[in-house]
Amino acid sequence: MNPLTPFAYNRRHKRRALVLTTLLALAVTGIYLVIGLLQETYIAPIYTINRYLRKFSLVQPDLATTLDPAMAAQIRAHPDVAQMLPQNNVEMAVPNAGGVDTPFRLIGLQEADVATVLAQCGVTLVEGQLPQPRTNGLALSQEIATALNLEIGDTLNRTENETGYANIVSPLELVGILSGDVRLGIVSYEYLDSHERYRNLARYGVLVIARPGREAAVDGFLRQTIRSSRTETFTYELLREKVTRDQAVLYTVGIPLVLLVTTAITLVVGATNRLAFMRRLPEFGTLHAVGRSKGWLARRLTLETAGLALAGWVLGILLAWGAMAILSAAVYTPKGFAYNPLQVTALPFVAPIPLAVIGFTLFTAVRAIGRMDAVAIVERGELSLEGKQPGRAGRDTAGSLPRPLASTTFYQRHKGQAAVLIGAMALMIVGTALMVLILEAFDDARQPMLAHLSRMSLVSPNALPLDATVRAQISAHPAVERAIPVYAFSPLGISIPPVIPNYPGEAYGVTAEDMAYLVELYRLKLAEGHLPRPNTNDIVIPWTFAQNRDIKVGDVIGNRAHPIYPDAPTLPSELVVSGIFAPAETLADETWLSFVSLEFVNDYQDYWRSDLSLAVVPRAGQRAALDTWLESQIAGESRLVFTYGNQQALFQKQASTVLFTLSLMESVISLVAALALTGLNYIFVTQRQAEFGVLNALGFSRLRLVGRIVRETLFTTGAAWLAAVLGCAVILVYLQYGLYVPAGLRLNFFNPTPWLYTLPVPAAVLAVSAVTVGRALARLDPVAVIERR
């Protein structure tokens, strides 16, 4: 039996080993869960729901309604294409487990082709029947039906989800349930084609099946040869590219979080190791005196921690897998998005934790053991934290403090310990608030997207043009100041870092008279150039868009060959930027509206695929009444009503869903942080048993001692909170001036939400510390302390 193995110390100090292992395990579990659940909630569903692209690809024209026959022939003639089937489709949304809508296509197939597609996908009908031609029947994969809460006989109806089912212009009845690895939604091609409103709305194209083993070749052909500004292709490779982009966003958010938590946990473990080391100086001094080299001692100390770090790491991953298995069964499976809990996406994110801990331990061990004087230790018999500390003598002798038991005195004399505690806590707090900070910044930045609805509401056609009676009815309403016919479309998108690469912006095609009215209404001022002239392809854009996409007066947008920025929409006819509006003075006054000539757009009506909408300006003080009337009386299957109220509610719903998910995830981090920091605080306090024992003997009550520790903890948590708030402010300033201002965006520094997220960690540490220290001091026996010495 070798008593000097690295495991001997941990075996004889099980409690300490358990605390450190648990801390590390919880940190690993926390990060693993955050990253893993973000992956499974927001990234994986994109894959899951579009997995059919591994079996076939879709090709459809970008603007025209039917695929160019020559192109269809070219695809059919490709030697690696096994089959090419006609398809039409409508897009809808399926809420993922996080409550966020994920786009999903209902594919219209001719009756004869359905069996081919099912066979190609390995999908079988397990209940009901397949959609009959020219009927509104719908067959859905079991998981999608579960996610949509549908059973055979139920209908998919737009009234149930105005946003997600916006394209379901006429109810579809679920007639069949499909089973297989691929998620599918199949409707009758003929039904979509024969239905007046679906025909206007559906996209028409082809479904391409590759010969076995030639999928990559067909994918490449479709992407490189067929895909163009006029032809959309949906292939597996393109899906992968999209997912990679989304994952990059996840990494953008995840990496700083991992760095913060890893640094904090390393500091915590480092501090506890240092304390343990100080207590074990006699052991190391003796071992060195009897012939163990300092290198051997450092190695042993490091291996002891390495064992715990690796055990904590493995345990943390197992715990995370367990938690993910429970979550998958309890939350994700009922929502149709079951996943494999043994996923490894988060592994690279948790790998730095044991490495950093081991590295830091090695560094501190080498440094401390290097300074160790074995003879002094052996001569003195015992040297603990209470002993002389190198480098302190002569430095702190400048004077005595008038209140030796004040909460600041201890940390004034233990600056290193204070720095570790405050630093670790501050990092944990920033780690907790970071994602909310970024999300809220993004949310603030996109607020102007809705600002135009603050002065008017919009009634838009859905698959069918607005009929004249409705238009007359709206115009005649007593609360309506003016009803303006507009073509609403999105010729430009803006990038809102770090999460949205292309957020579509609204442009209105209006007459010159109405344009002048709207410019006045929104108090828009031209920074340069001029407003679009009638019958010209001029466009005036907001300053933010110009800044965001580096667009100048005279630039051309919508050009197929030379997009103004990567992934810019292609327009049927180019538009020339004739003017740029000046930025608003405040974020609240910012409006992101572009204008073009209605007469010009009208000439391209067929291409725009967008029928005339009605911008409804309320009379003064009548907005609420008008919006209520529009939402209750005008909104319907063929008409969409956009008011500030319903769009803001939608924004908030999306944000609060994400915020709720983040809150759940961050509460895991908070819990880990609170436990780690409380543990550290507890260790620091228990190191001072002698001090408390003597003070108690001298007549300081336990309550008073607990009060003193609470005040000290209040001091450290307060300092950490201030440091964290400062850190968050620095991040906000960076977001504002490093990312947003160059992109023409602004955020709201006074949004209280992210700041609220800085509170749970210090509050939890304070509360749990008070309880644990209180309990520890309740057992304090001053005589035992005195006699032990």
Partner 1 sequence: MLQGEHLTLTYQDGETTIDAVHDVSVAIEDHQFIGILGPSGSGKSSLLYLLSGLRQATQGEIYLDGRAYGKMSSRERVALRRGEFGFVFQQHFLINYLTALENVMVAAPVQNKAHAEQAKALLADLGMGDKLHRFPYELSGGERQRAAVARAMIHRPRVIFADEPTGLLDRRTGLQVMALLRGYRDQGSLIAVTHNPEILSEADLVIKMRDGQVIKVEDRVARKTQEAVA
Name the residues that contact partner 1, by CB under 8 A.
385-389, 392-393, 396-405, 409-410, 413-414, 690-691, 694-703, 782-783, 786-787, 789
**Nearest approach, Cβ of 698 to partner 1 (angstroms)?**
6
Structure tokens at 11: 């075996």
Looking at the DSSP bridge assignments, the partners of residue 57 are: 208
Residue closest to 38 by CA, chosen among 611, 499, 414, 364:
499
Measured between alpha carbons, how far is 170 from 636 in angstroms, rounded to an integer?
Answer: 11
Residue 11 or residue 403: which is nearer to partner 1 going by CB? 403
Residue 401 or residue 771: which is nearer to partner 1 going by CB? 401
Kindly write down the DSSP assignment for every residue of 233-302, as one continuous string: EE-HHHHHHHHHHHHHHHHHHHHHHHHHHHHHHHHHHHHHHHHHHHHTHHHHHHHHHTT--HHHHHHHHH
Angle subtended at Cα 401 by Cα 395 and Cα 404, rounded to the nearest 5 degrees: 110
**Residues 6+ away with beta carbon under 8 Å from 586:** none
* Burial class for 282, CB neighbours closer than 10 Å (0-12, 13-18, 19+): middle
Kindly write down the DSSP assignment for every residue of 374-391, as one continuous string: HHHHHHHS---TTS--TT
**Nearest approach, Cβ of 696 to partner 1 (angstroms)?**
7
Measured between alpha carbons, how far is 345 from 250 in angstroms, rounded to an integer?
Answer: 11
- Taken as a whole, the chain contains a residue count of 789
Distances (CA, A) of 770 to 421, 761, 765: 16, 14, 8
Structure tokens at 725: 């708030």
**Nearest approach, Cβ of 446 to partner 1 (angstroms)?**
52
User: What SS3 class is residue 563?
Assistant: coil
Kindly write down the DSSP assignment for every residue of 605-633, as one continuous string: HHHHT---EEEEEEPTT-HHHHHHHIIII
**Nearest approach, Cβ of 702 to partner 1 (angstroms)?**
8
**Nearest approach, Cβ of 2 to partner 1 (angstroms)?**
32
**Nearest approach, Cβ of 719 to partner 1 (angstroms)?**
18
**Nearest approach, Cβ of 261 to partner 1 (angstroms)?**
31
Do β-strands 81-95 and 538-541 pair in parallel, antiparallel, or remain unpaired? unpaired
φ/ψ region of 134 (left if φ > 0, alpha if ψ in -120 to 50, else beta) reads left
Residue 456 or residue 695: which is nearer to partner 1 going by CB? 695
Measured between alpha carbons, how far is 732 from 516 in angstroms, rounded to an integer?
Answer: 37
Residue 339 or residue 411: which is nearer to partner 1 going by CB? 411
Residue 1 or residue 393: which is nearer to partner 1 going by CB? 393
**Nearest approach, Cβ of 788 to partner 1 (angstroms)?**
10
**Nearest approach, Cβ of 397 to partner 1 (angstroms)?**
5
**Nearest approach, Cβ of 764 to partner 1 (angstroms)?**
28
CB 131 within 8 A of CB 155: no
Residue 690 or residue 763: which is nearer to partner 1 going by CB? 690
Distance of CA 532 to the CA centre of its chain: 39
Looking at the DSSP bridge assignments, the partners of residue 602 are: none
**Nearest approach, Cβ of 361 to partner 1 (angstroms)?**
25
Residue 185 or residue 782: which is nearer to partner 1 going by CB? 782
Residue 588 or residue 778: which is nearer to partner 1 going by CB? 778
Measured between alpha carbons, how far is 83 from 737 in angstroms, rounded to an integer?
Answer: 53
Residue 198 or residue 411: which is nearer to partner 1 going by CB? 411
**Nearest approach, Cβ of 403 to partner 1 (angstroms)?**
5
Start-to-end C-alpha separation, the chain: 33
* Burial class for 414, CB neighbours closer than 10 Å (0-12, 13-18, 19+): middle
**Nearest approach, Cβ of 374 to partner 1 (angstroms)?**
19
**Nearest approach, Cβ of 386 to partner 1 (angstroms)?**
5
Residue 189 or residue 684: which is nearer to partner 1 going by CB? 684
CB 772 within 8 A of CB 682: yes
Residue 416 or residue 504: which is nearer to partner 1 going by CB? 416
Residue 279 or residue 560: which is nearer to partner 1 going by CB? 279
Residue 382 or residue 606: which is nearer to partner 1 going by CB? 382
Residue 28 or residue 368: which is nearer to partner 1 going by CB? 368
Strand runs (DSSP E) across 351-479, as ranges?
Answer: 457-461
Measured between alpha carbons, how far is 157 from 152 in angstroms, rounded to an integer?
Answer: 14
